């Protein structure tokens, strides 16, 4: 086992939790097979607590989108379930350690993105109180992680080639292209023709294909892709087993992997060659670490997904992505790829070698820019422990 036992951590006394909604415009709209995101409407969970040395705070970012299009969760529902169902249970259980959060909230079904944000905030506060970084706590073995860029569906293939070329020039370690029926084989062909065969290229369908599309998916084999992400709907595990056998391109699952149990089924069935880990999707960074451990033991490579996070979520993701099983570049681009102004004082920057540094300070290792936060806040509600 790598990482530290929570028993070594002194724990915290949670006095209140602030739920804060913010709205941030994306520098460029992001189109997927399921819809277009032009801004992010984000729920932030802010834990206000007391540690052994006095007051301490922690922050967690909920990755739910404004609308229930990527998954059934969405921001307003995440805020409601957190306020009405999660925080009362957190307080009633007297949670003082992050690894108690999952158990305290377990009787609430689903809502993993909301639960993950609560756990992240408690973990950040607990680790800040202990003076320990999240990376060290989770068992990170790297201080920088290789990262790529996820490029949305664009108006023309020329736009796509220009955008991908610019990101490769910036130094990104690989390009991911969103695909959908009608925007798949030709975009890949033109990218390889224009930019060559030696850069890492992968595609993400966000569940837009059906088994009847297998010929189109097989046509992608000629482009030497690192992987194809989530071709079929979330629940179609058996269809996915057949696809793994039908394609040369490694098949990766994102939406399907909603928790450890599903990941275990997928590993045992050989229903994926690669797993995308998003802490929000699986219920938290601690569950994400356990899924990482299971995949590492099974010899299945993992990579860290992204949900267009601010610097808060990005810092926590960098800590997890520094674990040894994350052998493929993550969807953890520099802050500038998403935001004109991030809400943290040290936004993530791309190093010339295509990596981003893993924060090493206590907790998530970045601080909130309170001035920016105030400017982008749309609502705040304080929930005090009864
Ligand atoms: O499917 O990976 C996805 C963004 C929002 C919702 C789903 C996905 C994505 C991305 C963006 O691909 C990754 C990023 O944060 O850069
Ligand atoms: Mg995806």
Instruction: Give the largest CA-CA distance in the chain.
Output: 63
User: Which atom of ligand 1 is least distant from the CA of 176?
Assistant: 12
DSSP string, 177-191: EE-BTTBSHHHHHHH
In angstroms, the CA 158 to CA 173 distance is 21
A 10 A CB-CB count for 146 gives 22
**Nearest listed ligand to the Cα of residue 231:** 2
Task: Tell me the whole-structure pTM to 2 decimals.
Answer: 0.97
Which ligand lies nearest to the CA atom of residue 177 in the structure?
A: 1
Q: Which of 4-8, 158-162, 301-305, 366-370 has the lowest mean pLDDT?
A: 4-8
Ligand 1 atom 6: residue of nearest CA: 307
Report which protein residue has its CA nearest ligand 1's atom 8. Answer: 307
Q: Are strands 228-229 and 251-253 parallel, antiparallel or unpaired?
A: parallel
Kindly give the number of the ligand 1 atom that is closest to the alpha carbon of 255: 1
Helices and strands of the chain, counted as H and E runs: 14, 13
* pLDDT computed for residue 173 by the predictor: 86
Q: What is the pLDDT of residues 52-95, one digit of tens each?
A: 999 999 999 999 999 999 999 999 999 999 999 999 999 999 99
How large is the average pLDDT for residues 10-33?
Answer: 97
Q: Which two tokens stand for residue 255?
A: 């939406």
Tell me which ligand sits closest to the C-alpha of residue 280. Answer: 1
The atom number, within ligand 1, closest to the CA of 333 reads 16
Ligand 2 center–CA 337 separation, angstroms: 17
pLDDT band at 354 (very low <50, low <70, confident <90, very high): very high
- Residues 275, 247: Cα–Cα separation, whole Å: 16
| pLDDT tens string 144-175 | 999 999 999 999 999 999 999 999 999 998 99
CA distance 180 to 208: 6
Check pLDDT > 80 for residue 5.
no
Q: Which residues surround ligand 2, an ion (CB under 5 A)?
A: 204, 229, 254
Are the C-beta atoms of 42 and 22 separated by less than 8 Å? yes
Does residue 257 sit in helix, strand or coil? coil
pLDDT of residue 7: 57
Written as six digits, the tokens of 91 are 């307080």
**Which of the following is catalytic: 115, 176, 180, 278?**
278
pLDDT, one tens digit per residue, over 115-140 is 999 999 999 999 999 999 999 999 99
Q: Which atom of ligand 1 is nearest to the CA of 337?
A: 16
CA atoms within 13 A on the CB side of 65: 18
Instruction: Give residue 2's pLDDT.
Output: 43
Q: Is 178 a catalytic residue?
A: yes
Specify the residue with its C-alpha closest to ligand 1, atom 4.
Answer: 307
Ligand 1 site residues (CB inside 6 A) read 70, 150, 204, 206, 254, 305-308, 331, 333
Does residue 1 have a pLDDT over 90? no
CA 162 to centroid of ligand 1, rounded, Å = 20
What is the 256 CA–ligand 2 centroid distance (Å)? 10
Does 115 participate in catalysis according to the annotation? Answer: no
Token pair 């062909």 in the structure block, residue = 189
Compute the distance from residue 180 Cα to the ligand 1 centre, in Å: 14
* Alpha carbons 346 and 254: distance in angstroms, whole number: 29
What average pLDDT does range 291-319 have in this prediction?
A: 98
Only one residue has tokens 């004082």, namely: 345
Average model confidence (pLDDT) for the chain?
A: 97
- Could you report the per-residue pLDDT of 198-214, keeping only the tens digit for each? 999 999 999 999 999 99
Asked whether residue 255 carries a pLDDT value surpassing 60, the answer given is: yes
Q: What residues have CB less than 8 Å from 201, skipping those under 6 apart?
A: 174, 175, 176, 177, 188, 191, 192, 223, 224, 225, 226
Q: What are the structure tokens assigned to 185, written together?
A: 């084989």
Euclidean distance between CA atoms 311 and 345, whole angstroms? 9
Written as six digits, the tokens of 299 are: 């010899």
Secondary structure (3-state) at 374: helix
Catalytic residue chosen out of the listed positions 115, 176, 178, 289 = 178
Instruction: Assign 49 a pLDDT band (cuts: 50, 70, 90).
Output: very high
When pLDDT is cut at 50, 70 and 90, the band that residue 4 belongs to is: low
* Residue 295: its H or E element: helix 285-298
């Amino acid at each position: 086992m790598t990482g530290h036992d929570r028993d070594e951590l002194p724990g915290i006394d949670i006095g209140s939790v602030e739920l804060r909604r913010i709205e941030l415009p994306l520098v460029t709209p992001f189109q997927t097979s399921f819809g277009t995101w032009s801004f992010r409407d984000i729920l932030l969970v802010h834990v206000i607590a007391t540690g052994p040395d006095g007051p301490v705070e922690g922050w967690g970012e909920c990755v739910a989108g404004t609308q229930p299009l990527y998954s059934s969760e969405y921001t307003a529902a995440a805020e409601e379930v957190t306020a009405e169902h999660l925080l009362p249970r957190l307080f009633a259980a007297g949670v003082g350690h992050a690894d108690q959060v999952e158990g305290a909230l377990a009787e609430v079904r689903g809502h993993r993105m909301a639960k993950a944000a609560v756990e992240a905030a408690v973990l950040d506060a607990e680790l800040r109180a202990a003076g320990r970084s999240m990376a060290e706590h989770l068992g990170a073995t790297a201080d920088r992680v290789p990262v790529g860029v996820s490029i949305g569906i664009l108006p023309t293939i020329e736009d796509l080639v220009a955008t991908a070329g610019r990101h490769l020039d910036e130094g990104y370690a690989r390009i991911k292209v969103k695909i959908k029926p009608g925007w798949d084989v030709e975009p890949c062909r033109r990218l390889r023709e224009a930019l060559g065969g030696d850069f890492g290229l992968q595609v993400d369908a966000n569940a837009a294909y059906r088994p009847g599309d297998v010929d189109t998916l097989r046509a992608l084999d000629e482009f030497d892709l690192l992987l194809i992400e989530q071709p079929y709907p979330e629940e179609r595990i058996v269809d996915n087993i057949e696809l793994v056998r039908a394609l040369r391109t490694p098949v990766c699952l994102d939406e399907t992997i909603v928790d450890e149990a599903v990941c275990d089924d997928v590993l045992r069935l050989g229903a994926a060659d690669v797993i995308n880990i998003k802490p929000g999707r699986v219920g938290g960074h601690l569950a994400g670490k356990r899924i990482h451990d299971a995949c590492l033991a099974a010899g299945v490579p993992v990579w860290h997904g992204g949900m267009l996070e601010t610097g808060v979520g990005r810092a926590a993701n960098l800590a997890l992505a520094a674990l040894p099983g994350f052998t493929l570049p993550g969807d953890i681009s520099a802050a500038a790829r998403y935001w004109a102004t991030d809400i943290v004082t040290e936004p993530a920057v791309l190093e010339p070698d295509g990596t981003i540094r893993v924060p090493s300070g206590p907790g998530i290792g970045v601080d909130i820019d309170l001035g920016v936060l105030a400017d982008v806040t749309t609502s705040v509600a304080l929930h005090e422990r009864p």
